[in-house]
Amino acid sequence: MSLNWKDPTVLHHCGRAYLMIAHFVSGMYIWEFMVTFGFDWAVLRRKRSLTFGTLLYILPRYTSLLVVIIILRTSNVFSSSVDCKTWIHVQFAAAFGTVGMTSGILYIRICALSGNHKAVKYGMGLSYLGYWGLVAYSAYQPSGYYVETLYACSPADVSVHRATEIYMFCFDLCCLSIALGCLIRVHRGGSLARFLINQGIVYFVCICAAYLITLIFTLLDLNDPMTASSGVVGVFLMTICSTRMQRQLLEYFDDPKIDINTIIVTDVRSPGLVQATVTTYAKTAMSSTSVDYALSKDVLESCETCVFRFYILVYTY
């Protein structure tokens, strides 16, 4: 006998499961936010420059925090007079906005890894614009209603953004494929797996995996609580992975106010030229106050690992 996922009793239990999952991942994100708040605090105290790359890191963190606050509010509703529909709209708008910004981090990363290749830059750029169009459309599609037995607002009509989920997953998967292709193409000796891990490819994989889980539940369309449960998990996992990847790049330099306009990087497809350029820059930086000697020495000793970080930094800033 097959389970009827639309049965009121099943819906009630799925609703409870959604609340438990939402509270768990919210707590997980709050922990992640607190243990990494030192970077934000350094920006607030102006010890780090507020650059474009820093904004890419900060914005999805705080929109995700807004999602946490809304989840806590909609999970503790003790009166039917609360406008659940508006609260759910705001929750989904913040969640989709967060996902859009995390994918923006991936887009900038692949532009850097591809050596600013026109096909990647403009092709994926146009796709990213379409991405935001679907985000704007889907953010306000789901509705919400009050569930008296759960004392909470429950999302409804979540499956209406099925097309958006498919598009977003394909975009992130393309970013992963391009990043893998670029890194494998320029890898020279040593462990390929370790090289890919050092370049943050694990974060790409985790983001795609998180989106795949969300997409599967959206396509299955068992019921609204089940679809929403996978969605809230996916949003926080994507935020954590993408912001960690971005922070890893920003923290690579001891002095975040380094003038990246002085960095000259040649075609990434010519490893010999890239290494010579980075080495020349590193030697010059030894006598400069913008970069300390230890960091410059690291560049000289491991150009193969550092070249991508230099190259990516130009675009993330």
Angle, vertex CA 228, rays to CA 32 and CA 178, nearest 5: 65
Amino acid 176: pLDDT: 87
pLDDT in tens, 152-180: 998 888 877 788 888 888 998 898 889 88
φ and ψ at 198, to 5 degrees?
A: -65, -30
Closest by CA position to 150, among listed 75, 231, 84, 73: 75
pLDDT at 202: 83
Q: What is the pLDDT of residue 123?
A: 92
Phi and psi torsions of 6, nearest 5°: -95, 0
pTM of the model as a whole: 0.75
Helices 162-186 and 118-139, packing angle to 10 deg: 160
Tens-place pLDDT, residues 28-47? 999 999 999 999 999 888 88
**Cα-based distances in Å from 103 to 132, 225, 253, 292:** 10, 25, 24, 33
Q: Are 154 and 15 in contact (CB under 8 A)?
A: yes
Q: Is 230 helix (H, G, I), strand (E, B) or coil?
A: helix
- The whole-number pLDDT of residue 188 equals 66
Q: What is the pLDDT of residue 289?
A: 31
Which portions of the chain are predicted below pLDDT 70?
1, 140, 187-193, 195-199, 252-317
The predicted pLDDT at position 239 comes to 92
H helices present in the chain, as ranges: 8-35, 37-44, 52-74, 84-113, 118-139, 162-186, 192-198, 201-220, 224-250, 271-285, 293-301, 303-316
Query: How many beta carbons lie within 10 A of that of residue 294, not counting itself?
Result: 8
256: its two tokens: 């975040």
Residue 226 and residue 228: Cα distance in Å, rounded? 5
Give per-residue burial for 143-170: e unless 16+ CB within 10 Å, then b: bbebbeebebbbbbebbebeebbebbbe
Q: What HEC string does 78-96 produce?
A: CCCCCCHHHHHHHHHHHHH
Q: What is the pLDDT of residues 74-85, one digit of tens each?
A: 988 888 888 888
CB atoms under 10 Å from CB of 34, counted, come to 9
What per-residue confidence (pLDDT) applies to 33? Answer: 95
- 144 has which bridge partners? 155
pLDDT for 24 equals 94
